[in-house]
């Protein structure tokens, strides 16, 4: 693993300034770019450590605070260990903020994040990778379909409501996706039930998108997040193996 440098950066968007975390190998050289989309709990020490791990494998990783319209990080006052069943007010705070990040706003921001990566001397030329967690999996799919020429590969883990009957369901952008995609579903996740998994799979297949969708047994929504009550070590290790394999094959 390469030694890693992590810094705070600011990204100018059409609607303001998004604070972000940037992690990259400490060699001053350009590396393949990864846009890392947060879960609902936001940019916090655990996500920075995940970005550091990816950077150690040879990538330049950008983790934007997608809730920047509501303030700089930390947007929410979170405990070190997040257990929403013990602290239900956490979601009472987060829910309304999530609702305000419409696909339209999120994709306007995605353009700024992708341009920032393209302009950075620490990022190799060419399309980048996306990885996203929970709500970030939705953002990854939307981004791959909205900016296909700028995305080489996209991964999403324990994504929620990826294929619904809503007019802005993420799966509706699949026909524009040119990247290879990978989705890992938790088998105990009511926000991504079997019928949605099947619709996503069928939509990706019909569109001719190179893809793999897998169900992780015994895992709950949020299984990659070690600072939460839904962490599942086996699922997390499998996620790292799948993600790093995808990136190595792509870059």
The active-site residue, picked from 24, 185, 221, 239, is 221
134 catalytic? Reply is yes
- Return the DSSP state at 32: -
CA separation for the pair 233, 140 (Å, rounded): 23
189 catalytic? Reply is yes
The active-site residue, picked from 24, 46, 134, 239, is 134
Q: Report the chain's C-alpha Rg in angstroms.
A: 17
The active-site residue, picked from 39, 109, 189, 236, is 189
∠ CA 99-105-109, nearest 5°, is 125
Q: How distant is the alpha carbon of residue 150 from its chain centre?
A: 16
Q: Which helix (H) or strand (E) is 217 found in, with range?
A: strand 211-220
- Return the DSSP state at 74: P
Residue 118 phi/psi, 5-degree rounding, is -60, -30
Just list the catalytic residues.
Answer: 134, 189, 221
């Amino acid at each position: 693993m390469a030694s890693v440098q992590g810094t705070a950066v600011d990204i100018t968007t059409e609607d303001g300034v998004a604070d972000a975390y940037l992690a990259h190998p400490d060699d001053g050289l350009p590396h393949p770019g990864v846009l890392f989309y947060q879960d609902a709990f936001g940019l916090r020490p655990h996500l920075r450590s995940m970005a550091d791990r990816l950077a150690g494998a040879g990538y330049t990783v950008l983790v934007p605070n997608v809730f920047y319209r509501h303030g700089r990080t930390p947007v929410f006052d979170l405990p070190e260990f997040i257990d929403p069943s013990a602290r239900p007010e956490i979601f009472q705070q987060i829910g309304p903020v999530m609702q305000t990040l419409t696909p339209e706003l999120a994709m306007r921001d995605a353009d700024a994040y992708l341009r920032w990566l393209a302009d950075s001397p620490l990022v190799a030329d060419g399309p980048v990778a996306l990885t996203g967690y929970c709500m970030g999996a939705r953002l990854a799919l939307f981004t791959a379909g909205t900016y296909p020429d700028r995305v080489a590969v996209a991964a999403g883990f324990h994504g929620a409501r990826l294929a619904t009957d809503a007019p802005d369901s993420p799966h509706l952008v699949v026909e524009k996706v040119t990247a290879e995609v990978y989705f890992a579903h938790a088998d105990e996740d009511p926000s991504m039930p079997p019928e949605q998994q099947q619709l996503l799979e069928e939509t990706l297949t019909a569109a001719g998108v190179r893809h793999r969708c897998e169900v992780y047994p015994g895992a709950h929504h949020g299984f990659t997040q070690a600072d939460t009550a839904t962490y599942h070590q086996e699922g997390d290790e499998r996620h790292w193996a799948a993600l790093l394999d995808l990136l190595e094959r792509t870059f």
